[in-house]
Amino acid sequence: MGEIGAEHQGADFFLIECGRHVSDKSGGEEVWRRGYQPFASQEAFHGLPNRFKGFSGPVGSGKSAALCREALRLAYLNPGCMGLIGAPTYPMLRDVTRAAFLGILEANGIPHRFLKSENAVYLAEPRAQVIFRSMDQPERLIGTNLAWFAVDELTYCKEDGWRRLEARLREPRATRLCGFAVWTPKGFDWVYRRFISDERVNGYESVRARPGENVALPEDFYERLKHSYDERFYRQEALGEYLNIFSGRTYYAFDRAANVATLRFDRRRPLCWSLDFNVNPMCSVMAQVVDGRVHVLEELILPDSNTREACEEFLERAERYRKELQGTNYGVVPMNVVVYGDASGDSRSSQADRTDWQIVREFFKRHGDRFRATFRVPASNPSVKGRVNAVNGLLCNHAGERRLIIDPRCKELVADLEQVAWKSDPHGNALAQLDKSYPARTHVSDALGYLIEKEFGLRAVGGARTQYLGA
């Protein structure tokens, strides 16, 4: 793929005949800047002369635009050569990064042809090809000589992928060899060590954007994030700070004095039941969502148990709440129950004859005269990081609001929120994985996390560069 195919040369010839051919020494600078008014940090990033350079910043700081414009710039600086744009996963590459690059070409009238079968774009004026590749399988990033490469959200990529791209940066016809990336900080990871730290790799340089540079954002953009993000996550995502948020206590926003209080069942609200399908112990929580807050009423902790026994225990506990409804306007109408939990329960079981979710659904069908059940179970589980961030955001957000209250009867849940920690590797480096070395821990907080992430998780909102706000 190192040469431009003959089928593209005709398009280039047509443009030359019309007097529109642009060389790297004439109109290239004008073309890649067309319709672009870079912020100070973006301009500084473009001006870095290093062979390897980066752009780090908070959400909304224009990282994606900087990446696409720099890619376009290098395509014009290296006529007849190939470049690569990568992203952590193929869905992100397709829906965000590639879409942003193509959008710039379309909006600014830059002659190009999208080659769907090759997942590439041919730029007619510099006779250059830009290929798009996912970074989640680094071993596939071989066999191509590149003049330049660009990686979006590098902190979500493996270091091996970056190293493989470095090895491909060897196009002999290139005028300006360059590998570059943009990212949101994610602690003191390999990207920080390679680009930011005092011990960064020789020849590497980066620019750190400041929050608030992007005046095109809604005025309340960062204020809204304060109400969705917990303190540490806000500082990382909205302020662009480098923090090790995946070390020490997982649920660091929990405060027993502030998040634990005696609760009463609200007869106006549905009862929520959220399950984690661990066998020993089998754990679930009974809760309610009240005016944007989560009230955890009870925990169901069943040692060496199964899903059928969990359903029977739920029936016994829920009957007490059903009795509170008698004599009200609800009469004998079935109680509304919203069910949440572990998505993997559709593919496994604590018993051989039915999956866990089949057992739960059959239970509610048998008791249709007592419960009207609604299931809010995703097709796949959220990431552990996403679930934990959602829980911490309710425990205490950056604005100081606490919207998760737990009844003191939930002793194991309180213990989880105080004791669950992040796992470390043999060298003491923090991993974005929960430490499950103590069998009694993590399961009941996992159950609560499924409910909270589904109702209050961080959801994508507008724009080519995905930002996140609480649902």
Q: In this predicted structure, what is the pLDDT of residue 245?
A: 61
Residue 30, pLDDT above cutoff 80: yes
Q: CA-to-CA distance for 28 and 77, rounded, in angstroms? A: 7
- Tens digits of residue pLDDT in 221-261: 777 777 777 677 777 777 777 766 666 678 888 888 899 99
Q: CA-to-CA distance for 322 and 227, rounded, in angstroms? A: 34
What does the mean pLDDT of the chain come to? 83
Closest C-alpha to 467, from 227, 217, 242: 217
**At 184, phi and psi to the nearest 5?**
-95, 135
User: Which tokens in the block code for residue 195?
Assistant: 């680009």
User: Which tokens in the block code for residue 240?
Assistant: 């662009």
**Hey, what domains does the chain have and what are their CATH numbers?**
6-208 (3.40.50.300), 256-470 (3.30.420.280)
User: Which tokens in the block code for residue 384?
Assistant: 């552990």
Are β-strands 128-134 and 112-115 bridged in parallel, bridged antiparallel, or unpaired?
unpaired
Which whole-number Å values give the CA distances from 399 to 291, 293, 297, in the listed order? 17, 15, 25
Residue 43, pLDDT above cutoff 80: yes
Q: In this predicted structure, what is the pLDDT of residue 24?
A: 39
User: Which tokens in the block code for residue 230?
Assistant: 């917990």
Calculate mean pLDDT across residues 179-185.
Answer: 93
- Tens digits of residue pLDDT in 103-162: 999 999 999 999 999 999 999 999 999 999 999 887 776 777 999 999 999 998 999 999
pLDDT grade, residue 278 (50/70/90)? confident
pTM of the model: 0.57
- Tens digits of residue pLDDT in 389-433: 899 999 988 888 899 999 999 999 998 988 888 776 665 556 677
Q: In this predicted structure, what is the pLDDT of residue 458?
A: 67
pLDDT over 90 percentage in the chain: 52
Other C-beta atoms within 10 Å of 16: how many? 14
Reported residue count of the chain is 471
For the purposes of burial, counting CB atoms within 10 Å of the CB of 152, is it exposed (0-12), middle (13-18) or buried (19 or more)? buried
pLDDT over 70 percentage in the chain: 84
